[in-house]
Amino acid sequence: MQHEHPPIDWKDILNPKNIILNLIGVSFMTLALKGFMIPNKFLDGGVTGISILLHEVTHISFAWLVIIINLPFLFLGKKLLGNTFALHSLVTVLLLALGVTFVHFEAVTSDPLLIALFGGCLIGIGMGFCIRGGSAADGFEILAVLTTKKIGLNVSEVIFAMNTLLFLAAAWYFGITTALYSIVTYFAAIKSLDYVANGLEQYTALNIISGNSELIKSLIVNKFKKGITIVKGERGYLPKSFDVKHDCDIIVTIVTRLELLRIKEDILKIDPYAFMYIQYIKEANGGILRNRKKH
């Protein structure tokens, strides 16, 4: 029996917050493309970069290219992520094409380093706002999810491999200098996208092993109002005393970037020798994640 995705959620599509976020995202991307990247033949990664490259080679309108090249990725998105996401993304791509076509202004600068940094940051910020609004303005991520299932690499590795081929093509056509600056643009874009899409409050798993675990548990729960999970383990096994071991509680808590430094500082006041390690996580739901005061 063929699996069918739920019908389009029009409330989500027409949600004013999502519409505003997508419009802000498209505005940032239009500024990046028209003010920095396209006039100076700089590439970002993904479909945007392919569209700029083909625009320079064939002189076909960038707007038409970004629509046409994104269509197969949007079809994949429909299969993988549902009808609502695909329609949201189609609207975003069409808005970007309209923005690039009808918004006209001169290039902001011709300095290659400024183009790479500011062009990359602006397009990354724009993509981040679009993701927060429930859409995607570039189809490479969708293709990466599908490819990952076939060859076993993670999504970032697949995206990097595909963009490497794009930058090699840019080096051949535009020259090595422009290609290298385009790589800077790409990395500026993905870092900006990460901060906007995930925010400063991206969740982090903090793992603590300490001889003063009871005090640290109380600190995290009572002072910082965070939930904890206790994993039973053993510590010891040092090179000169391998046979010495002790039962211990491994404390696991989920915190945000903004909370992490304060919690670590307070833990070290209790136990300067506490062993801590951090794992960055993409998503967390349920439990006690945020403590917001109700007004």
For CA atoms 110, 112, 113, 115, give the dihedral sign.
Answer: positive
Per the CB < 8 A criterion, the answer to whether 97 and 90 are in contact is no
Residue 4 has pLDDT above 70, yes or no: no
Between the alpha carbon of residue 94 and those of residues 72, 101, 135, 203, the distances in Å are 14, 11, 12, 33
174 or 153: whose pLDDT is higher?
A: 174
What pLDDT band is residue 271 in, cutting at 50, 70 and 90?
Answer: very high
**pLDDT, position 164:** 81
Check pLDDT > 50 for residue 244: yes
CA distance 97 to 234: 58
Supply φ then ψ for residue 280, to 5 degrees.
-85, 135
Which range, 56-65, 147-156, 253-262, has the best average confidence (pLDDT)?
A: 56-65
Give the start-to-end residue ranges of the domains of the chain: 10-198, 203-280
In angstroms, the CA 38 to CA 99 distance is 13
Q: What CATH number has the domain spanning 203-280?
A: 3.30.70.120
b/e 64-89 (16+ beta carbons within 10 angstroms → b): ebbbebbeebbebbbeebbbbbbbbb
Please work out, in degrees rounded to the nearest 5, the angle formed at the alpha carbon of residue 35 by the alpha carbons of 30 and 38. Answer: 80
Q: 252-284 as b/e, with b when 16 or more CB fall inside 10 Å?
A: ebbbbeebeeebbeebeeebeebebeeeeeeee
The answer to whether 188 and 120 have CB atoms below 8 angstroms apart is yes
* Region of residue 286 (phi > 0: left; psi between -120 and 50: alpha; otherwise: beta): left
Alpha-carbon separation of residue 237 from 62, 232, 272 (angstroms) = 61, 16, 20
214-226: average pLDDT: 91
Between 292 and 172, the more confident residue is 172
In the predicted model, what is the mean pLDDT of the chain? 83
At residue 295, the pLDDT reads 37
Q: What pLDDT sits at residue 219?
A: 92
The pLDDT, as a whole number, for residue 1 is 42
The 10s digit of each residue's pLDDT in 86-137 is 898 899 999 999 999 998 888 888 898 999 999 999 998 998 898 888 888 8
pLDDT digit string (tens) for 163-216? 888 888 888 888 888 888 888 888 888 888 877 876 655 678 999 999 899 999
Residue 205: CB atoms within 10 Å: 15
Closest listed residue to residue 46, CA positions, set 149, 161, 201: 161
Start-to-end CA span in the chain (Å): 49
152 CB-near residues (< 8 Å, 6+ apart): none
> Can you read off the two tokens belonging to residue 7?
């019908």
Q: Which residues pair with 234 in a beta bridge?
A: 247
Sheet holding 203-209, edge to edge: 228-238, 241-256, 203-209, 275-280
Checking if the pLDDT of 283 tops 70, the result is: no
